[in-house]
Amino acid sequence: MNLSQLLQHFKTELKDVYEEEEVKSIFSIVTEHLIQFNRSKLMLNWDKEPEPAQEASFLAIATGLKTHQPIQYLLGEAFFYGSTFKVNESVLIPRPETEELVDWILEKKVEGQTVIDFGTGSGCIAISLKKHLKDASVTAVDISEDAIRTASENASLNHADVCFIHADILTFQSKEKFDIIVSNPPYITGAEMAEMQQNVLAHEPHLALFVSDERPLLFYEAIADFALSNLQPEGTLFFEINEYLSKETISMLKDKSFKIIELRKDMQGKDRMISAKL
């Protein structure tokens, strides 16, 4: 099949899953990934026939997309804060709102810090911070061994020296003090599950996404407790938060005697980030 026929195949296979415009843009991402044709090269080469092995990959990706598999898992990579990260079903696909969190931390422009990232997943926060804060010593924790393995690969891929620790946020202890404690822990409640897209629900790790309706701030509480003993006096705690739980998160932090520095909205205008100090 040539590229034009392959696009037609994608349109037919995916007509019940994606709008036609989305299919075209996904097709161009796939083409770039599999045969390194950018969009303009694609436009000029519709009659190009990929090698048989490449054609098989196109067809396999179309089949995956049809069953709502996210394109990032099918290609095995995602882009985050200007870098490429390997992803698979053991880690969450890095989100744009998390890029905003990284951007916010980097705005502070402090050098030579010690940083710890809880629930690192693909390692996107920890690795991006290390890439931009060259002198920082960065530690990252995750309860999933598969996630730690993926994050370590991502650190090598991105030439970032990060210390990964396989541990549970709820019990993790350290003697070290940190200037920055950051986390994007699981925060979606069961009640919000119904609103979620099928590609997220069926393929992304529930361990990284969901919390119980009874204790939605469980991880935030544990990280705040860790910060009480392990945050440097001038250090800052940064959280990505559930947009519906900003008030609750703030009052939990205040009850533990933190001072809220700022509550920030994401690009969609949703309460998404909090910074706090002791």
Residue among 57, 136, 142, 15 at smallest CA distance from 91: 142
The CA radius of gyration of the chain, in Å to the nearest whole number, is: 21
**Residues 34-53 interacting with ligand GLN (rule: CB under 6 A):** none
Applying CB under 6 A, the span of 22-30, 126-134, 156-164, 180-188 interacting with ligand GLN comes to 180-188
Residue 121 marked as a ligand binder = yes
Applying CB under 6 A, the span of 13-21, 45-53, 149-157, 179-187 interacting with ligand GLN comes to 179-187
Instruction: Determine the Cα–Cα distance for residues 128 and 126; give it in Å rounded to an integer.
Output: 6
Number of residues near ligand GLN (by CB under 6 A): 9
DSSP per position, 81-93: TTEEEE--TTSPP
Query: What tokens does 57 get?
Result: 């990959």
Q: In the bound complex, what is the minimum distance in angstroms from residue 68's beta carbon to ligand GLN?
A: 14
Side-chain-facing half-sphere of 165: CA atoms under 13 Å: 14
Residues 50-89 vs ligand GLN: string with x where CB under 6 A? Answer: ----------------------------------------
Q: In the bound complex, what is the minimum distance in angstroms from residue 223's beta carbon to ligand GLN?
A: 12
Q: Is 217 in the site for ligand GLN (CB under 6 A)?
A: no
Q: Figure out which of the listed residues 143, 207, 209, 245 binds ligand GLN, where binding follows CB under 6 A.
A: 209
Q: Figure out which of the listed residues 58, 187, 220, 226 binds ligand GLN, where binding follows CB under 6 A.
A: 187
Q: Figure out which of the listed residues 26, 35, 188, 253 binds ligand GLN, where binding follows CB under 6 A.
A: 188
Q: Is 230 in the site for ligand GLN (CB under 6 A)?
A: no
Q: Is 200 in the site for ligand GLN (CB under 6 A)?
A: yes
Q: Figure out which of the listed residues 95, 149, 270, 277 binds ligand GLN, where binding follows CB under 6 A.
A: 95
Q: In the bound complex, what is the minimum distance in angstroms from residue 183's beta carbon to ligand GLN?
A: 9
* Long-range contacts formed by 103-112: CB under 8 A, 24+ apart: 104/238, 104/264, 104/273, 104/275, 105/129, 105/180, 105/182, 105/238, 106/132, 106/133, 108/236, 110/179, 111/135, 111/136, 112/136
Residue 81 marked as a ligand binder = no
Instruction: Determine the Cα–Cα distance for residues 173 and 163; give it in Å rounded to an integer.
Output: 15
Residue 122 marked as a ligand binder = yes
68, exposed or middle or buried, with CB in 10 Å at 0-12, 13-18, 19+?
Answer: middle
Q: Order of strands, edge to edge, in the sheet holding 271-277?
A: 162-166, 137-142, 114-118, 178-183, 231-240, 271-277, 259-265
Q: Figure out which of the listed residues 50, 123, 186, 216 binds ligand GLN, where binding follows CB under 6 A.
A: 186
Please tell me the chain's helix, strand, coil percentages from 3-state DSSP, rounded to the nearest 5: 45, 20, 35
* Pairing of β 271-277 and β 231-240: antiparallel
Binding-site residues for substrate sit at 184-187
Summarize the annotated binding site as residue ranges.
Answer: 119-123, 142, 184-187
Residues in binding site for S-adenosyl-L-methionine: 119-123, 142, 184
Please give the residue ranges that form the binding site for ligand GLN (CB under 6 A). 95, 97, 184-188, 200, 209
